[in-house]
A and B are shown apart, each in its own frame.
Chain A
Amino acid sequence: MKLPSLFRRTPFRLTLLFLALFVATASAVLAYVYVASASEARARAEAGVRAEVEALTAVYRTRGVDALNQALVDRTLRGGSYLYLLMDKDRKTITGNISTSPLEPGAAVQGGRWDDFRLTDTDEAGKVRKRQAIGVEMPLAGGEQLFVGEDIGDIEAYLARLTQALWGAMIMVLILGIGGGLVISRRVEKSMSGLNRVVMAVQEGDLKVRAPVTHSGDELDELGQGLNTMLDRLEASMASIRHAGDAIAHDLRSPLTRMRAKLEVALMDADAGKVSGVDALGIALDEADLLLKTFNTVLAIARLQAGGAPDPKVFDAAELATDMAELYEPSGEDKGLEFSSEIEKGLMIEGNQPFLAQALANIIDNAIKYTPSGGAVKFRARRRSSGEIEFSVTDTGPGVPDEDRERVLQRFVRLDNSRTEAGSGLGLSLVTAVAEAHGGRVQLDEGPGAYGGQGPGLRVALILPPASGTASGTN
């Protein structure tokens, strides 16, 4: 048979365990209180009886049996809670405030024979009750026996009330414990079921759910916040995968569609005898190459993101920058741009040279592509005061609005006004992937502002950490 669900829950089980421990501890404490009180009260009563016995035996020792007798009479007349009985050696009563010894007859014990006994009494309502008492029979030198006893019924009653109170306390402990346990387990249960619901929903594929967070700062809240952060990241990466997937589909579909259309037109033209198929095939090949390039870039980005920069080597980025400037300068000038470069010497970095060359090529190519004729492109490579190596390309083209700067670094994002230019929308994504794989970053800023009817321009900076041990820059 299955337990009721409550009993299978960890919080409730913990509560029960805690309660058991609590009850055990409370019982021990209460038992100690009981035993300590009882023995304390009894010890006090015994001490009183003993003192009385000593006083009386002292009277007997010094002044004889008659003086003792007189003392007993005096005490009896004075009243008090003590019981007295003086017996001769045959246990016949000589004097006292009781008629016979309540103790069982027995051999005299040197130093006194102690025993408990019961007194019969009537209470206020006239009801007969037995009250507990203690007493001692002390043999005297002349063979007489002196009995002194005390009624400790009040102690007994006190202990009985104490016991009752302790039982009451125990019941309250149980009630409060179970109640508190239920409240706590309900609360934990509630938080847990919130988390559980989230996990179940995620299992079903819903990434939009979030765990309720109370900001109470407890572990469950922390767990919930952690879960939410995890879900945020998961959702973001799923979204970016989906986005990349859509974008790849889109970007591969357009060249495929174009190729298909061109082949179809060529087929019709060839059928009509207007043209040979060769031209169309050439164009189709170009489109196929474009597709391949897109594929390769997507793969390169994925690889950089997954495994960092492959095959890193320490090399002088100044040489790379000089070569890139030399390679692109004629293209810029052919487009009617003023292309200039400013490259510091000795910029040692550690990285993958082909990927860094590709990144610089993408940045410079973008600048040349998007800057209208008559504009300027400036390429700089320098060491920042922080020691980092910075490659920057500043152009005087239309630039990228502030709010779009983050976005253009993402895969396949192309701003509307750039759609007329050839390109996959992967250029800056690759630059970002290269930068991150090298522990660096990409920064986009506004260019120089208005420039002969153009502007405000764009400044793209690729910032990389220097090769270790060369940060001071004097090699």
Chain B
Amino acid sequence: MRILVVEDDAEAATAMVRGLSEAGHEVTHAVDGAFGLLESQKGGYDVYVVDRMMPRLDGVGMVETVRKGGDQTPVLFLSALGEVEDRVTGLKAGADDYLVKPYAFAELIARVEALARRRETGGVQTVLKVGDLEMNLIARTVHRGATEIDLQPREFQLLEFLMRHAGQSVTRTMLLEKVWEYHFDPQTNVIDVHISRLRSKIDKGFDRAMLQTVRGAGYRLEA
């Protein structure tokens, strides 16, 4: 997919461009908000990755302008400001996700891909299918092949998120933020415990494990 990186720190930008390119994406770099705005007007991008603090036009100003122009391309905000109110202003300006610096690269890629994917699957779906795993969002049922899988409400939400991002890495932080909707550090890997319970329900007794651990990143549901 095509990604526009708007970042004034040359070193951070270089690392980001390299990392995203190696993950198979086409990356353009703009050095500040004003250039970023010009570049965004050319169109054709799937995601904007915007640094919050930049000279000339900062991230918040750029995103607000982009949104006023009717451009609904998903935006991931990057910021060294990690406080709640900073996150709130960033999201209010029109960003779709917010990542605090310094971040793990896997986290950045996972979030960028999740944003782009969300756009692709815009329509209302009632049934999610990944391989032989099928989730009915109306009846709240899950089947793998012919076997019905009984899930707790939270496990259902967790699996739904994983299925919507099938084939992508999702990080533990993303799961806590998107499934539980909390922003804090759980200290121990409580998410891992929930994943292993879900895994035992959807993979146990099947010859192929769908829910995989991605080293250094998180988890991925493979078809």
Contact = CB atoms under 8 A, between A and B. Distances in A.
Nearest to A369: B188
B154 A361 contact: no
Interface string A287-312: 00100110010000001000000110
B126 interface: no
Interface in B9-48: none
Contact of B216 (A285, A327, A354, A362): A285
Contacts, number: 57
B180 A327 contact: yes
B184 A357 contact: yes
Interface residues of B, number: 22
Interface size class of A (residues with CB under 8 A): 20 to 34
B216 A282 contact: yes
B214 interface: no
Q: What is the predominant secondary structure among interface residues of chain B facing chain A?
A: loop
B188 A331 contact: yes
Provide the main secondary structure of the chain A interface: helix
Interface string B175-218: 00000101111111010011001000000000000000001100
Given A311-B84, A352-B84, A330 B197 contact: yes
B55 interface: no
A327 B82 contact: no
A282 B7 CA distance: 27
B132 interface: no
B120 interface: no
Contacts of A326: 154
A368 interface: yes
Of B84, B183, B194, chain A has the most CB atoms within 10 Å of the CB of: B84
Contact of B82 (A296, A355, A358): A296
A331 B185 contact: no
Contact of B85 (A310, A334, A362): A310
Contact of A330 (B88, B187, B193, B215): B193
Given A285-B216, A292-B102, A354-B183, A368 B188 contact: yes
Interface in A394-433: 423, 427
Nearest to A333: B193
B223 interface: no
Given A282-B216, A296-B82, A334 B184 contact: no
A146 B216 CA distance: 138
Contacts of B88: 311
Interface of B: 82-85, 88, 102, 104, 154, 180, 182-188, 190, 193-194, 197, 215-216
A328 interface: yes
A310 B188 contact: no
Contact of B184 (A330, A358, A368, A427): A358
Contacts of B183: 354, 357
A264 interface: no
B187 A427 contact: yes
Given A292-B102, A310-B84, A311-B88, A330 B190 contact: yes
Contacts of A445: none
Interface in A318-375: 323, 326-328, 330-331, 334, 352, 354-355, 357-358, 361-362, 365, 368-369
B182 A357 contact: yes
A361 B216 contact: no
Contacts of B190: 327-328, 330-331
